[in-house]
Amino acid sequence: MHNTKVNVTGRSVAGLTAPRLDVVRWGFVGIGHRGLNTLTETLLLEGAEVTALFDPDPAAVARAAAAVAEAGRARPACYGAGREDLRAMLDRPDVDAVIICTPWRSRVPAAVAAMRAGKHAFLEVPAAITLEECWQLVDTAEETRRHCMMLENCCYGRDELMVLNLCRQGLFGELLHGEGSYLHDLRSWMADPRRGLHRWRTWEHTVRNGNLYPTHGFGPIAQYMDINRGDRLDYLVSVSSPSRGLTDYAERVLAPDHPQRTMRFICGDMNTSLIQTAKGRSIVVKHDIVNPQPYSRTSLILGTRGIFEGFPSRISIEGRGEPARPDPEQVDHGHWDMDMEKWYAEFDHPLWTKCGRVAAAIDGRTGGMGHGGMDFVMKWRIMQCLREGLPLDQDVYDAATWSAIGPLSEQSVARRGEPVEVPDFTRGGWRTTPPLGIVS
């Protein structure tokens, strides 16, 4: 098969299950801003313990250890001196799974080490930033038979879960086209020395030109369209606008001695990537975090019988809720229904029905750091799968395929929008892997 590597173990990990864990003992690698928020929510989950922490920053380790103590739990083992410390943490028998919230370039080495130590690995998004890293995750998961999941929380938003339910029930008809974006003005965060983004994410814009953060918008669309579960990505074309936003912001807003004033940015402000699937469907993915615009993930799915579009959320499905036309000869221009409460009442996903209210309440107490409740729903579902021995909703093939849009977009941009083929990380398994179901 073209652009496919041989599975040396001969065994796919699609639908992988692992022995049940009554209690899941978590280790955390990277406990800065995002990692600490993730740890705090994890402590709220039934059956979850935090037994070990690793971060090179002693202050971060101290804050995380204090959070565990404040939750009334036993003090976790603390590490942070270097690679040997990380290995020592991963070798602990009281760690079952590891959550990795480090900067992009250190995630894959930590995940590979975790799986080789017999632990399940959960990585923040994107899971990998090169095709070689994507294959490392796949090869290691297949060899070790350990879960490797990217923590794509946007698949667990209330609207995204409901739309998945609508897709599975066939209300949109045959799915034809999707769009997913990450449009988020992060200029002030990237210039703030108190945030890690200032040190490493800003630097990425000086060495890469493409879609650097594709999975938030793309992940839900991939699940709607059964990517890696009945269809696969075939090829991608990508173009970038000029790189202006960060330089303009630095010149207008930042102090003369701010380090961003002398940085040379090459990443185009707006990247637009167009993907074709093996079944001929189309997907648009956009990325822009350096211009003034309201937050949006676009979230569009179109089928032969209807459409959903997010930000703001609205639905139009043929034959449902359309106003009566007095003249039967009048052209039907369609009708947007923006009353989501009505759709929630009929089509809320069972996961949101189960724990969405609790998730939203927790999010309110944390000042929105749980992204409307989707973070807690995702963690609750992960715990359910680990404790009941169920397959995860996202597997290593999803982590690799969704993340690969980043480096593939860089290749296409560098070649003036030339099409680049998407590797088949499932090695043909997409043809027989069943779609993600609506869990009860």
Domain CATH number, residue 47: 3.40.50.720
CATH number of the domain that 185 lies in? Answer: 3.30.360.10
> Is the domain of 149 the same as that of 232?
no
Count how many domains the chain has. 2
Average pLDDT, the chain: 94
Other residues' Cβ atoms within 10 Å of the Cβ of residue 41: 20
With H, G, I as helix, E, B as strand and everything else as coil, classify residue 240: strand
Given a cut of 60, whether residue 204 has pLDDT beyond it is yes
Percentage of the chain lying above the pLDDT 90 cut: 88
pLDDT of amino acid 329: 62
> Is the domain of 147 the same as that of 44?
yes
Higher pLDDT among residues 59 and 366, named by residue: 59
String of DSSP letters for 149-218: EE--GGGGSHHHHHHHHHHHTTTT-SEEEEEEEEE---HHHHT-TTSHIIIIIHHHTTT--S-S--HHHH
Angle between helices 340-347 and 158-168 (to 10 degrees): 60
> Is the domain of 204 the same as that of 86?
no
CB 110 within 8 A of CB 100: yes
Per-residue model confidence as pLDDT tens digits over 418-433: 999 999 999 999 999 9
Is residue 173 one of the residues assigned to a domain?
Answer: yes
pLDDT of amino acid 139: 98
> Is the domain of 121 the same as that of 221?
no
Q: Are strands 97-100 and 120-123 parallel, antiparallel or unpaired?
A: parallel
Is residue 5 one of the residues assigned to a domain?
Answer: no
Rounded mean pLDDT, 89-95:
98
Is residue 386 one of the residues assigned to a domain?
Answer: yes
CA-based angle 260:261:264, to the nearest 5? 75
Is residue 17 one of the residues assigned to a domain?
Answer: no
Q: Which of 197-201, 212-216, 410-414 has the lowest mean pLDDT?
A: 197-201
- Distance between start and end Cα atoms, the chain: 36
Range of the domain at 41: 24-154
Rounded mean pLDDT, 100-124:
98
Given a cut of 80, whether residue 235 has pLDDT beyond it is yes
Given a cut of 70, whether residue 325 has pLDDT beyond it is no
Distance CA 306, CA 273 (A): 24
What is the CA 341 to chain-centroid distance, rounded?
A: 26
With H, G, I as helix, E, B as strand and everything else as coil, classify residue 294: coil
CB 122 within 8 A of CB 99: yes
Is residue 191 one of the residues assigned to a domain?
Answer: yes
Least Cα distance to 260 among 250, 249, 270 occurs for 250
> Is the domain of 285 the same as that of 426?
yes
pLDDT of amino acid 1: 37
| 65-74, Cβ contacts within 8 angstroms, sequence gap of 24 or more | 67/36, 67/39, 67/40, 67/43, 68/39, 68/43, 71/40, 71/43, 73/43, 73/49, 74/49
Confidence of residue 362 (pLDDT cuts 50, 70, 90): confident
CA distances from 283 to 129, 213, 355, 428 (A): 20, 16, 31, 21
Per-residue model confidence as pLDDT tens digits over 337-349: 999 999 999 999 9
> Is the domain of 190 the same as that of 322?
yes
Angle between helices 374-388 and 158-168 (to 10 degrees): 60
> Is the domain of 144 the same as that of 200?
no
Given a cut of 80, whether residue 192 has pLDDT beyond it is yes
Given a cut of 60, whether residue 10 has pLDDT beyond it is yes
- Which residues on adjacent β-strands are paired with residue 301? 178, 308
**Percent helix / strand / coil, the chain, rounded to 5:** 40, 20, 45
Confidence of residue 394 (pLDDT cuts 50, 70, 90): very high
Q: Which helix (H) or strand (E) holds 226?
A: none
Distance CA 72, CA 67 (A): 9
Distance CA 115, CA 110 (A): 9
pLDDT of amino acid 326: 54
> Is the domain of 420 the same as that of 276?
yes
Given a cut of 60, whether residue 301 has pLDDT beyond it is yes
Final residue of a structural domain among 154, 177, 202: 154
Residue found under tokens 């600490």: 36
Rounded mean pLDDT, 312-336:
76
> Is the domain of 160 the same as that of 144?
no
> Is the domain of 190 the same as that of 287?
yes
Least Cα distance to 186 among 196, 178, 176 occurs for 196
Final residue of a structural domain among 121, 154, 187: 154
Given a cut of 80, whether residue 24 has pLDDT beyond it is yes
Given a cut of 80, whether residue 194 has pLDDT beyond it is yes
Distance CA 282, CA 234 (A): 10
> Is the domain of 381 the same as that of 249?
yes
Rounded mean pLDDT, 386-410:
98
Is residue 315 one of the residues assigned to a domain?
Answer: yes
In sequence order, what are the residues at sequence separation of 6 or more whose Cβ sits closer than 8 angstroms to the Cβ of residue 62? none
Is residue 9 one of the residues assigned to a domain?
Answer: no
> Is the domain of 214 the same as that of 130?
no
Distance CA 252, CA 272 (A): 27
Is residue 293 one of the residues assigned to a domain?
Answer: yes
With H, G, I as helix, E, B as strand and everything else as coil, classify residue 419: coil
Final residue of a structural domain among 131, 154, 177: 154
